[in-house]
Amino acid sequence: MLELKRLSKSYVPGKPVLTEIDLEVDARGITAIIGPSGTGKSTLIRCANRLTEPTAGATPFDGEDLARLSGQRLRHARRHIGMVFQEYNLVERLTVMENLLSGRLGYVSAWRAWRRRFPAEDIGAAFELLDVVGLGGFANRRADALSGGQRQRVGIARAVMQRPKLLLADEPTSSLDPKTSVEVMQLLADLARSREIPVLINMHDVELAKRFADRVVGMSGGRVVFDGPPADLGDDVLKTIYGGEGWLH
Amino acid sequence: MSAEAAARDDPFRGNPWTRAAWVALAVYVVYASAQMELSWERVLTGAENASKFFGRMFPPNFDRWELLVKGLVESLEIAVLASALGILIALPVGFAAARNLMPAWATWPARFVIVACRSFHPVIVAILFVKAVGFGALAGILALTVASVGFIGKLFTEAVEEISLKQVEAVRATGAPFASVLAFGVLPQVFSRFIGFSTYQLDSNLRNSTMVGIVGAGGIGGTLFAAFQRFDYDFVCAILIAVISLIMAGEVVATGVRRVFLEGATLAGLFRRGGRPAEARLMEDD
Among A82, A49, A107, A45, smallest CA distance to A159 is for A82
Contact assignment for A149 to B185 by CB distance below 8 Å: no
CA A73 – CA B95 distance, rounded (Å): 25
Q: Do the chains contact at B170 and A85, CB–CB below 8 Å?
A: yes
% pLDDT > 90, chain B: 50
Bridge-based pairing of strands A199-202 and A30-34 is parallel
Residue B25 has a pLDDT of 95
Instruction: Report whether pLDDT(B2) > 60.
Output: yes
Contact criterion met (CB < 8 Å) for A148 and B280: no
| Rounded distance between C-alpha atoms, residue A34 and residue A225, angstroms | 10
CA A6 to chain centre: 21
Backbone angles phi, psi at A23, to 5 degrees: -150, 145
DSSP character string of B188-221: HHHHHHHHHHHHHHHHHHHHHHTTGGGGTSSSHH
**DSSP codes of every residue in A9-73:** EEEETTEEEEEEEEEEE-SSSEEEEE--TTSSHHHHHHHHTTSS--SEEE-EETTEEGGG--HHH
Q: How far is CA A194 from the centre of its chain?
A: 17
Q: Nearest by CB to A105, which of B176, B280, B284?
A: B176
| Residue B286 banded pLDDT, cuts 50, 70, 90 | very low
3-state secondary structure A167-233: EEEECCCCCCCHHHHHHHHHHHHHHHHHHCCCEEEECCCHHHHHHHCCEEEEEECCEEEEEECHHHC
Please report the pLDDT score of residue A198 as a whole number.
93
Q: Does the distance separating the beta carbons of A145 and B173 come in below 8 Å?
A: no
pLDDT of residue B278: 42
Show Cβ contacts of residue B235 under 8 Å, excluding neighbours closer than 6 positions. Answer: B60, B61, B63, B64, B227
Contact call for A92 and B170, based on CB within 8 A: no
**Shortest Cα distance, chain A CAs vs residue B238, angstroms:** 46
pLDDT at A149: 92
- Grade residue B148 by pLDDT with cuts at 50, 70 and 90: very high
The beta-carbon neighbor of B167 closest among A80, A91, A147 is A91
Residues of B in contact with A106 (CB under 8 A): 174-177
User: Which residues does residue A61 pair with via DSSP β-bridges, in sequence order?
Assistant: A2, A64
Across the interface, whether the CB atoms of A93 and B285 are under 8 A apart is answered no
Range in A19-23, A236-240, B167-171, B272-276 with the lowest mean pLDDT: B272-276
Res B133: pLDDT: 93
- Give B29-42 pLDDT, tens digit per residue: 989 888 887 778 88
Residues above pLDDT 70, as percent of chain B: 89
**Dihedral Cα A138, A140, A143, A149, nearest 10 deg:** 0
pLDDT digits (tens, 9 = 90+) for B72-81: 999 999 999 9
CB-CB under 8 Å, B176 with A106: yes
Point out which residues pair with A9 in neighbouring strands.
A18
CA nearest neighbour of A79 among A195, A160, A7, A151: A160
Instruction: Name chain B contacts of A162, Cβ cutoff 8 Å.
Output: 174-175
| Ranges of residues in chain A whose predicted pLDDT is under 50 | none
Asked if residue B178 lies in contact with residue A78, where contact means CB atoms within 8 angstroms, the answer is no
How high is the mean pLDDT of chain B? 86
Show me where the domains of chain B are located. 65-265
Q: B177 and A94 in contact by Cβ < 8 A?
A: no
Residue B268 pLDDT: 59
Q: Which one of A53, A86, A89, A116 makes the best mutation probe of the B interface by having the most chain B beta carbons within 10 Å?
A: A89
Please indicate whether, in this complex, the C-beta atoms of B171 and A91 are within 8 angstroms of each other.
yes
Alpha carbon of A162 to those of A38, A157, B183: distances in Å?
Answer: 30, 9, 18
| B184: contact with A, CB 8 A cutoff | yes
pLDDT in tens, B56-73: 888 888 888 888 999 999
Among A162-171, B98-107, B179-188, B249-258, name the one with the lowest average pLDDT: B249-258
Per-residue pLDDT at B275 exceeds 80: no
Residues on chain B touching A155 (C-beta within 8 angstroms): 170
Chain B residue with minimal CA distance to A177?
Answer: B285
Question: Given a cut of 50, is residue B280 above it in pLDDT?
Answer: no
Task: Answer yes or no: is pLDDT of B285 > 60.
Answer: no
Q: Is A2 helix (H, G, I), strand (E, B) or coil?
A: strand
- DSSP letter assigned to residue A95: B
Which residue of chain B has the CA closest to A107? B176
> Is the model's pLDDT at B103 over the cut of 60?
yes
Chain A residues whose beta carbon lies within 8 Å of the beta carbon of residue B167: 89-92
Interface size between A and B, measured as CB pairs under 8 A: 98
> How far apart are the CA of A178 and the nearest CA of chain B, in angstroms?
13
Residue B1: per-residue pLDDT: 55
- Are A113 and B184 within 8 A, CB to CB? yes
Handedness of CA A117, A121, A127, A133 (dihedral sign): negative
Chain A partners within 8 Å of B283 (Cβ): 147
Tell me, what's the ipTM?
A: 0.89
Distance between CA atoms of A184 and A212, rounded to whole angstroms? 11
Distance, in Å, from the CA atom of B121 to the CA atom of B126, rounded to the nearest integer, reads 9
What's the pLDDT at B279? Answer: 41
By residue count, chain A amounts to 249
A227: alpha, beta or left, given left = phi > 0 and alpha = psi -120 to 50?
beta
**Closest by CA position to A235, among listed A243, B125, A227:** A243
Q: Do B183 and A110 touch (CB under 8 A)?
A: yes
- Phi, psi for residue A228 in degrees, rounded to 5: 180, -170
Give the pTM.
0.79
**Up-side HSE of residue B65: CA atoms within 13 Å toward CB?**
6
- CB contact under 8 Å between A89 and B167, yes or no, is yes
Residue A17's pLDDT is what?
Answer: 86
Which residue in chain B has the smallest CA separation from A147?
A: B284
- The pLDDT score that the predictor gives to residue B253 is 87
What residues in A contact B190, CB-CB < 8 Å? none
Whole-number Cα distances in Å, A156 to A23, A97, A170, A192 = 24, 13, 11, 11
Tell me: pLDDT of B277 over 50: no
Backbone angles phi, psi at A222, to 5 degrees: 80, 10
Cβ contacts of A167 within 8 Å, gap of 6 or more: A81, A82, A83, A84, A159, A160, A188, A192, A197, A198, A199, A200, A201
Separation in Å, CA of A102 to nearest CA in chain B: 7
A248 at interface of B, judged by CB pairs closer than 8 A:
no
A103 touches chain B (CB under 8 A): yes
Q: Is B37 on the interface with A (CB under 8 A)?
A: no
**Model pLDDT for residues B124-143, shown as the tens digit of each residue:** 999 999 999 999 899 999 99
Distance, in Å, from the CA atom of B23 to the CA atom of B21, rounded to the nearest integer, reads: 5
What class is the B65-265 domain? Answer: mainly alpha
Instruction: Write the residue in A78, A92, A150 that is nearest to B167 by C-beta.
Output: A92
What does the pLDDT look like over B5-36, one tens digit per residue?
A: 665 677 777 888 999 999 999 999 989 888 88
Tell me if chain A has a CB within 8 Å of the CB of B173.
Answer: yes
Contacts of A84 (CB under 8 A, 6+ apart): A152, A155, A156, A159, A167, A168, A169, A170, A172, A188
Q: Which fold has domain A2-90+149-248?
A: Rossmann fold (3.40.50)
Whose CA is closest to A153, among A120, A124, A191, A112?
Answer: A191
Distance CA A237, CA A239 (A): 5
For residue A248, give every residue at least 6 positions away whose Cβ sits within 8 Å of its Cβ, in sequence order, or none: A235, A238, A239
